[in-house]
Every structure is written in C-alpha cells, then in structure tokens.
Structure 1
Amino acid sequence: MGDTGSAGQSGGPADLDEAATVFAGVRPRLFGIAYRMLGSVTEAEDLVQEAWLRWQGYDRATVTDPAAFLATVITRLAINALQSARARRETYVGPWLPEPVDTTADPHLGAERGEALGLAVLLLLERLSPTERAAYVLREAFDYPYRQIAGIIQVSEVAVRQLVSRARKHLVSERRAPVSTAQQRRLLTAFVAAARAGDLTALEDLLAADAVSYSDGGGAVRASRFPVVGAPRVAKYVSAFADRFWVGVEVEFGTVNGQAAALLRRDGEVFTVLTVDASDQGIDQVLWMMNPAKIAAV
C-alpha cells in the first residue's frame, strides 16, 4: 500500500474532482474510525481533514484500493493523536467523558455494526493502549479481517488476534451485560423524572448498588470534579441540587452514540446531555456531559 504520508503527483481539476468523490464515499467510515479512537467529534473531524489533505497530495495512481488506503491513513493518524490526547486528558479538570455525537442520521457512524460507540464503552476504551484500541475498533465495529488490520497497525496477524482478545476481555470484565435499547430508554426517562422531583427513594430504586455518577464540566461550568460512587451517595447528590438545577429546564429525548439521551435546555440552549448505562442490576453509570465545547455538535 506504500507510505501513507508520502506526497506525490496530482492531476488536473477532473482528477481532483474524482479524488473528492472517492473521499466523500468513505468519509463516514473515516470519521467513524477516528471518533471511536479519540472519543471526540472535534478531534475526529480534524483527522478526517488531515486525511483529505494527504489524499489530495498523494500519487493516487499508485493506490489500488482507495478505501483501504484511507482507512490505514486515518487509523495511523488516530493512533498518533491518541498518544498526545492522553497527555492532555491527564490535566483535564474533573472527569473526562467522551464527546457525544448525534447518530440519528447514521446509527453506526459508517461502521458495519454499532460496536465501540456507546459512551460507557468509549470510556472503557480509554484504558486500552492505542494499538489495542485500533485493533478492537477495526475488528468489532468495521469487521476488517485480521490480516488487513495487521497491515494497518503494522504488527503480525497473531499479535492482532491477541490485541482484540485482550480488549474484549477487558470490556467484559469491566462492564456488566447492558440492557436492551428500550429498557435503557425507560430507565433514563424514569431517572430524569426522579431527579427532577428530587425523589430520593425513586432514585435509589433505579440505581445499581455500585452506581457511579460522572459530571464533565471541563472547568468551564460548575460540576462535580470527582465521580460520585454508590447508590445512596448518587441519589443524595442528584436530589440535593434538584430545586436549583431543574428550574426552567426543558427536556428533549434524542439519540446520541446509538442510545437514548436527555438533552436539557434552558432558554432554548442545550446545556447538558444526560445519559445512563444500565444492566439488569439497574443504572450502573450516570453521565452528565456539561462542557459547552463538547455538546456544541449535539
């Protein structure tokens, strides 16, 4: 496939138009790979733009499979970007949560399946190495053959199988089996109603015993800078600010990252994206995305 960073010849306007058409055809997949790798809409868009610039300047006549070539470019860019992103996230103010993305028009974000897209899963993927994450994303969401993944991330096929296996085991060990989409939506709706009413008993009944509440304000808005752990503490935390937080709030239920989410508006502006991750034990995680920079896309 050649060096994905090399510059080369470029043709005239007709050739560039064809290059743009080819790129547009695979763009949703490129964004889907980059977003799953980075958990950030903004950073994923930047990488897609970088991939386009490389494709524009490359000797495209030497490329036999543009989709495979561009998948390699975006994955390698994402692996490099993730390494620097992790350093930034170490100094992030409060809990870092993935940036929610609207999946109404494209439920799987250019993928074969909706794997590695839910916010809770993206949060777990943060603990993998960049190459583990790449191997898992390419295999589980996009169904790439192990041999092709090996070429993309430049390891052996045996190593790819080990990377994917380790990633799967990590996710299984760290997360209970999730409830159905319909049940997750019902639990979210019930949680919003209980939270709005400040109903301590109802909140505790909805939460798993070891539930955790994460609030991502990024230092830009008031939000808890530490996760709140345990059903009693989460219920008390949520009910304690009910009389202030929910004043003048309109709730709209939508779909982000392939799952139900509550979009909370005040004065017509979305100021919080709220979602829950749940199992048969109840709500395991409550995710409050409040960082204005992260909810602009939603």
Structure 2
Amino acid sequence: MLRKIITVIILLITANTFAQEQFNLYFDSNKFELTKKEQNKFNQWILANNNNKIVAIHGFTDEDGTSGFNDTLAQKRVNFIFNIVKDQIKIREDFKTISFGESFKQSENKAENRKVTIYYILEKDIPRENEILGIKQDEVLDEEQTKPEIDYPEKLIFENPNGTKSEFKLDREFMKKVGNAKTGEKLTIENLNFIINTYAVVNESRGKLYELLLVLQSNPELKIEIQGHLCCMPVDRTDLSTQRAKAIYNFLIKNDVYRARLSYKGFGSTQPIYPIPEKNETERAANRRVEILIVEN
C-alpha cells in the first residue's frame, strides 16, 4: 500500500503525465471558495467529465501570508473542491489530496499560484489506469488482499417524534454481498414487502432500506439500478413495479445519495422466476421482488 501511494505521488509531482489530464481552478487572494466565474467553469467541466476518473487533487497558494496560514488555506481549497466533486465523478480509491501551500515553484503572476489542480484519466484510458500511474499488478493484488472489511452495524435505533423508539435489525451478510458484488451482478432484497397494491414499504421492512443506504454510504464508487418486479398479473397496468423501485430510489436520494449513482426500472411481470399464474404463495412471493443490479463497483 505504501509503495503504491508513493508511486502515485511521485508520478503526479513529476512531468510524467502520459495519458493523464489536468484541470486548474483559480481562487481570489486568501479565499478557498470559487468565484462565480470559476464555479461555472467547474460545473461545465464536471458535466463534460462525468465518465472520467480523478486520481489526485492538489492545492496551492501564493507567497502572501505565513507558511502556516498558506498550508491551511491550500488544504481548505482542496477540501472545497473535493466535497463538490466526490459524488459526481469516479475517484480512485487511493487517490491523494495534497496541499503544497506556497512550497512549489511560484509563477511571477501571483494569480496563477492560487489554484487547485485536478489530475484525471479519460474514460478511454481507464482500462490502462495502473499502467499510466506506473503501478505494478502485484501491488494492485496486495492492495486488494489487504482491503479492510467494512464492519456494518447489526441494528439501527431511531427516536420517533412522539418519543418512542424504532429498532431495525440489519442483515449484515446481505450488506457485505452488495458492497463486494461485481459489476453486472444482481441481488434480490429479501423480505422487502409493500402494502398490497401500493408502493408504500411496510414498517417491518424499513430496515431493508437502511441496509441499502449504509452500503452506498460505505462504498462511494458503488452505482446501482433498482429493479421492481410483480407477481400474479401478466400486465402491470398501473406501472406498480416502477413505482416501487422509484420509492426506494427516492428514499436514497432523500438521504443524500447522489442521484448519478442511482437509477430505477420496473419490469412488471415480464421477468418471473416462476411461470404466471403461480401455483402457490411461495412462487408469488419469489416473483414479487425488488432486485439490485450492480452498475459499477
């Protein structure tokens, strides 16, 4: 891990930028927030690069002020940019936020020194990402083998407005499966039930929504599609399967999951596990389900 990070840092500091892009944002003196002009420029860059991948963000200042003040200011600039972009563009897991302050070769034009530089790789070059950064395959394998396992909680307790408490038991194994799933995998959310003929989740199943929320919060690169399925009827006349998938989507959006990481779709009864009409409640329950498709992980 240490060797890997050092390699990335050295490559970014030196002139070895083969197949690696960079984008600069500039700040007013002693400020860490962008001007309206720079914010607009940043917004346009995000829209144009949402399929690319960030590998580092570096912060700089001019020589005005003390070194301590400039080091802090540079870090604030980095943090400001990171907090905007973190849920909108893919970011390398071991990427570095580095604040150099005034400790770099200064331009004679002070305005050029008050900046943040984003280093990124174009979508077409992402399959060669480790090669571009000079990371050997054995180092990648070492990192994957030593990646710590996320310790999900066993339950969540909420205090209701009336003073009572609600407790949800969480399925940690399911959460681990979703967090570790590969792109293209599909998992069923077991025991996620709705009030009959509606898209309202029954109280007993609300813990399933929080399981999904915690997994997404703990795995910032995870993108999913929520898929709704119905039983019993050959035609989903009210589009209930889509409404149920959308209800889960809306819950996640409401809890600050960035919408670019989510999508939803209803399939009605077009993809049954058991033929329709089903023979019993077991088959109906299997067909009446919500699945999670791993779009990216």
TM-score (norm 2): 0.25
Task: Please identify which structure carries the higher helix content.
Answer: 1
TM-score (norm 1): 0.25
For the pair shown, the structure with the greater C-alpha radius of gyration is: 2
